[in-house]
Amino acid sequence: MQSDGMDIEEKNGLLPLEHEEPVSVRDHKAFALKHMQDLGYDVEDFKVYTWKLTKWRSLDRRLTSPEFECGGHRWRILLFPFGNVNASTIDTVSIYLDYANPKGSPEGWHACAQFALVLSNIHDPTCFISSHAHHRFVAEECDWGFTRFCELKKLHQVQENLGHTRPILEDDSAEITAFVRVLRDETGVLWHNFINYDSKKETGMVGLKNQGATCYMNSLLQSLFFTNYFRKAVYKIPTDHDHATESVALAMQRVFYLLQTSDQPVGTTELTKSFGWKSLDSFMQHDVQEFNRVLQDNLETKMKGTAAEGAISKLFTGKMKSYIKCVDVDYESSRTEEFYDIQLNVKGLRDLHDSFRDYVAVETLDGENKYMAEGYGLQDAKKGVIFQSFPPVLHLQLKRFEYDIQRDAMVKINDRHEFPLDIDLADFVESDCRGTDSWNYKLHGVLVHSGDLHGGHYFALIKPEKDGKWFKFDDDRVTRATTREVLEENYGGEIQNGYMSPTPRNNGIKNKRMTNAYMLVYIRETAIDEVLAPFTEIDTPPHLKARLEEERMASELKRREREEQHLFLTAKVITDESFRLHEGFDLASFEERNWPPSDLETFRVLKQETYARFKERVAKHFHYNPQDIRLWQLVNRQNKTVRPDVPIQEHESNLTMEMVRTNSASRNAELRLYLDYFPNAEKTRLTDQGNAPIMVFLKSFDVANQQLLGIGKHFVQRHQKVGDLVSYINEIMHFPPGTPLRLYEEIKPGMIELMKPKNTFAQSEIQDGDIICFQVEISEKDARDLEEQGKHPNPIAHYDFLQNRVMIFFKPKVEDNDPHSTFQLVFSKKQHYETMAQKVGDHLRWDPIKLRFTTTNTSNGAPKNVLKRSLNQTIAEIIQPSYLTPQSTILYYERLDVSIVELETKRSLKVVWTGLHNKEEGTHSFLLPKTNSVADLADNLAKMVNLSPQGSGRIRIFDISRDGKMQREYSSSDMLGNLPEMNEIYAEEIPVDEYTTDEKDKTIHVFHFTKEPARFHGVPFRFVLKSGEEFSETKKRLQARLALSDKDIAKYRFALVSSAMFKQPTYIADEDVIYDHKFQDGDVLGLDHIDRTGKTRIGLGEKAIVIKG
């Protein structure tokens, strides 16, 4: 029973209805009209049932009404006249609508009902209290209503504030009336809680997993996937030898194939990795339009020279003509350009037709704004754009975001804006280009943004088939959708506050819908059969299918292994060979905090597998006869070492591996074993229990190479003396006979003790699995010399190093393409900053005093604090400055041109010199006192560069604005120490015309970009505009300013770029006079051309989307 939190306040956030005028409960139609809001769904049935109750005080604690039918379902009223004790309520009335026979209904049944429950006076039906709700009734939630319907004492009182003249309970009687509407659930998910919902089962399709903030990408990918022609084109890109995380094309093919075949939501991690994105990039929301353009540019490049070449252009490219036509003379200037999508205004426009009319609206050039027509002088003219063709697949971007001048901020436009299922665009096509074909388009997809400017959520509504149904793709969930959900619910506009009818509390209060369409996808009716041609088996390339099927099967195997993990245990086996390669404590490293675990042979073992079978497997793996090996279990000793304890006995061969692990009393999840190879000849000696030898392990400390390595195992008798080992060691190590050795016992980390040669092994308390380390004796002088060199003269010192060792990873602070620029070095935590700097300097072959280190943020790996040089600072303090700070073993480094000591009083600067012609000619480094001025920097730079005879001889020092469009000039008096640390600094020679401007001239900012202003490159510069100068002449001066050839300047396009973030560039015709443009702060001239430097810059504001793969 749904008895917890069923009160109306908790269910709907609303109080019982206040009545303006008395309405009789018995006037069913009028009551429902006033108190049951139209929720916008088709009503299958509407029934009203009244239950009269007498002798209220004598009623049972729980009772139900007779059943009644509505919408093919049996219902009843469930009443707790003195409160639902299961919900810990007393002195209240609890009333619910109850599904009468849930157990007798078909499996998977559900009923969507809107209802009102009314408690009323039996003599005056205008005196009542009502509550209403809606619910999806299912087997798990077959009753729904109001636990705190009304306080019991109020039923005996006249509620004058509600306009009542009588109490609800009169003559100890009352009536309960249930108004029930059963609503048609067209999608099958109306008010669904989506617990255990299966998209594939319900819709035949699957969604995409959200990596953090990739819902914008998911919505677009689903739209592209269901553009079947596009999917087929992507499959035609050759990717036989590509790697998924490095190839965008292969990663897209993978996502598309999994969307076709998977039963579960599809991940996009490999796709974003192929973009070159790091994990943090997946938590940044981007603009769908920008992502779409960058992705298609990338794929279009990959398609060149393949069977898919031209597919994107064919699908998405249309043409439009910008024109200026004189009114009184026969003169027209026009330019035709291609487009991939169209940005349409929404604000103040009723529907999509209005937006198109606004887009092609004609501007009149007259009065002071007349057009200078070549050969005709100033003329009245009409200026506008007209479409020459629309593409088969039309992407329309609705401009839901714009810059609000009054607020000085970007805002989202939530105005109502309607779009149709079909739209005829013939009126917007130039008459000469219309032909006889239809320009009718059908809606195929709606990409929706829910939220505000600062964040929100994207989802897509798509109609995958020409005559099919609509579906909602919301990240990993796919559901059916109604036409109302596609259209009405995404127009935007005003909604009422809540879903009650207007009352004195909410009448006239309106809110804007925060959920509305952001991008529309239309398909031309004449092309729809080709664009949405059914996808068949042969459309998937066989090599791709085989490759992805193989990966799917491997993934499925891993999944099954995870699911069956409880049936298995892991066994790690130490061998004599792995011991010889081990440098550290014990026989292998398992769980050291600062050191990676040893690479041991690992077996996945069924817990019910017998020891005999497992031993056979191990022997076969290592090419041994099973009779020639023993397996010893390793145990955790009390002194925190991990050593072999006892061999598993042969009589235990029939034990299961789970029992073997249990018998060892090990607390480890994995079974740790040592493989002891002993041929038949040794078997009698080793198994003589009356005189069983001790198995010890020998390690050698090589002073010259500063290495501690395993040598192997050796069996000794308890009565033997420790010194007897010397002759054996000299023999196996090929030392000259009689070479003096020192023997140490490795008891535990921090306890390495010199052994007494004359003691027996029993007296030394040596047992199976103990470790003895040996060293060739050296003189005291040699030992002192080693210490002075910072080396270890004996195993005790070396073990101390091992106990405190840590592996530190060093990365360049400025990314480069050198694969060897990231490396790792091993240090003792007791070593100091100077030792670290020296070792890094030796590795990089760079003066250590000219290295600067930066710590990392443990949460995201980003650079954190510059590490100050301190002679007494230990490595431990560097990687963990305080007890509460997490340890970080990653440091960034910088190669400096100056010592870090000098940096304390001087400023190291790198200045990019762009000369007179805005070309990056080189970078110059300076080390100047922080008290020097920018003028001093310019003087020093002047001595290092060649100033042009055509220039002014003056130098401007600047950096670049956050959006990459403007210079920010430094004052000549600015102190160098006050310049921002992270900003790149540029310098140029000031042109003569800029230095000698008159009052009429305007100086503007100019920047370089490719297709989109957000994709800027190069260095912005300043340029002087002349009054009355046509752009054809302005362009010549720009050509001279940039020293471009006629061939190069012909590849440039020129546009006025507004400061409003989402306003598209306005491209300039030769006849335009841009001097007449009313430049606002932030308006600039943009040069649209290909970036041949490979140095595309990204502003410090919103991060532009970059796809590298």
Classified as helix, coil or strand, 252 is helix
Q: Where are the alpha helices (DSSP H) in 192-280?
A: 199-203, 215-225, 228-235, 248-261, 269-274
DSSP labels, 671-733: EEEEEEE--HHHHHHHT-GGGPPEEEEEEEEETTTTEEEEEEEEEE-TTSBGGGHHHHHHHHT
Classified as helix, coil or strand, 395 is strand
Residue 205 to residue 218: CA distance in whole angstroms:
14
Active site residue 243: no
Residue 775 to residue 796: CA distance in whole angstroms:
11
Chain-centroid distance of CA 770 in Å reads 50
Residue 208 to residue 188: CA distance in whole angstroms:
21
Q: Are 404 and 411 in contact (CB under 8 A)?
A: yes
Active site residue 215: yes
Q: Are 552 and 528 in contact (CB under 8 A)?
A: no
Residue 682 CB-half CA count within 13 A = 13
Count CB atoms within 10 A of the CB of residue 215. 23
Count the helices and strands in the chain (H runs, E runs).
27, 52
Q: Are 201 and 445 in contact (CB under 8 A)?
A: no
Residue at 76: amino acid letter? R
Count CB atoms within 10 A of the CB of residue 713. 19
Residue 1002 to residue 993: CA distance in whole angstroms:
11
Structure tokens at 557: 């195997």
Residue 492 to residue 355: CA distance in whole angstroms:
15
Structure tokens at 1003: 């100086």
Residue 667 CB-half CA count within 13 A = 5
1082: left (phi over 0), alpha (psi -120 to 50) or beta: left
Structure tokens at 780: 């005291």
DSSP labels, 884-950: TSPP--EEEEEE-SS-TTGGGTEEEEEEEE-TTTT---EEEEEEEETT-BHHHHHHHHHTTS---TT
**Angle formed by the axes of helices 228-235 and 215-225, to 10°?**
90
Structure tokens at 623: 């090419």
Catalytic: which of 28, 192, 353, 457? 457
Name the nearest CA neighbour of 483 among 468, 504, 495, 493. Answer: 468
Q: The tokens 């036989």 sit on which residue?
A: 240
Catalytic: which of 127, 150, 215, 773? 215
Structure tokens at 962: 């956050």
| 342-345/393-399 β-pairing | parallel
Q: In what order do the strands lie in the sheet with 707-716?
A: 707-716, 694-702, 771-776, 741-748, 751-754
Active site (catalytic) residues: 215, 457
